[in-house]
Amino acid sequence: MLGKVIRLVVFFNLGLRYLFWKIILEINGGAIGKKVKIFEGVKMALKRGCPIMIGDHVSLQKGVVLSTSEKGKIRIGNDVYIGEYSVITSNAEIEIGDHVLISPHNDIVDFNHIYQDRSIPINRQGITAEKITIQEDAWIGSGCKILRGVTVGKGAVVGAGSVVTKDVPSYHVVIGDPAKTIKERGKKVGKSDGDS
Ligand SMILES: CC(C)(COP(=O)(O)OP(=O)(O)OC[C@H]1O[C@@H](n2cnc3c(N)ncnc32)[C@H](O)[C@@H]1OP(=O)(O)O)[C@@H](O)C(=O)NCCC(=O)NCCS
């Protein structure tokens, strides 16, 4: 009986959060698909003209933050999982393809502050922003940083704690700071070409 009540409360809260964010996103030109799970503590900070678009069957775990400003835009495909306390901040565009898996505690940020001029505080020098793309079926391990202008290719794997500063080719497995390829998914060691 108690289990049933708890399940009902959880279901009710998920439904309320879904409705709340659907209204907020749509008012601001964004969209949200079907069967999207939004857990407690999720925040979406956006302004008009900087939409957040979320596909079907997306899961935004506890504490996820999606934020757009300047000319930012966030597009999330279908069947995407975004792990606890991941923060996605866009001033250009961040596109996340279908079936992407983002583990907890990731930072995905598509802009830098301009810092060249010593006579002006950095926070008054403006920003440079460039689109980030995470293509379908990629897996970003826990605690990574994905920086401005990067494309993580289809089916790529980014090891836990990596800092991604350059494009990751499709199906490559990268690790480290800065992230470098250690192997390719589905390729047998010793084989010179083609997937296994
Ligand atoms: C990248 C990863 C997928 C590779 O797994 P794997 O294919 O089993 O590779 P291995 O464990 O054999 O590691 C290969 C080498 O890379 C090193 N390595 C693996 N992951 C690493 C990482 N994240 N950072 C630094 N080095 C790493 C290993 O120590 C090993 O080094 P060695 O050859 O000198 O011994 C895995 O290590 C990883 O980071 N997983 C993410 C876990 C995670 O975030 N889980 C959350 C789930 S939601």
Domains and CATH numbers, the chain: 2-185 (2.160.10.10)
**Atom 27 in ligand 1: which residue has the minimum CA distance?**
175
Q: Going by DSSP bridges, is the β-strand pair 31-32/107-109 parallel, antiparallel, or unpaired?
A: unpaired
User: What's the sign of the alpha-carbon dihedral 32, 65, 145, 102?
Assistant: negative
User: Which mean pLDDT values do the consecutive 10-residue runs of the chain (196 residues) have?
Assistant: 81 88 93 96 89 97 95 97 98 98 98 97 97 98 98 98 98 98 84 46
DSSP for 58-83, please give it.
Answer: -EE-TT-EEEE-TT--EEE-SS-EE-
Instruction: State if residue 55 touches ligand 1 by the CB under 6 angstroms criterion.
Output: no
Q: How many CA atoms lie within 13 A of 105 on its CB side?
A: 9
Q: Which amino acid, one-letter code, is at 111?
A: F
Instruction: State if residue 143 touches ligand 1 by the CB under 6 angstroms criterion.
Output: no
Distance 171 CA to ligand 1 centre (A): 15
Please report the pLDDT score of residue 189 as a whole number: 60
Asked about 105 being catalytic, the answer comes back as no
- What is the residue whose two structure tokens read 């296994």? 196
Is the whole model's pTM more than 0.85, yes or no? yes
Distance 159 CA to ligand 1 centre (A): 6
Which atom of ligand 1 is least distant from the CA of 103?
Answer: 48
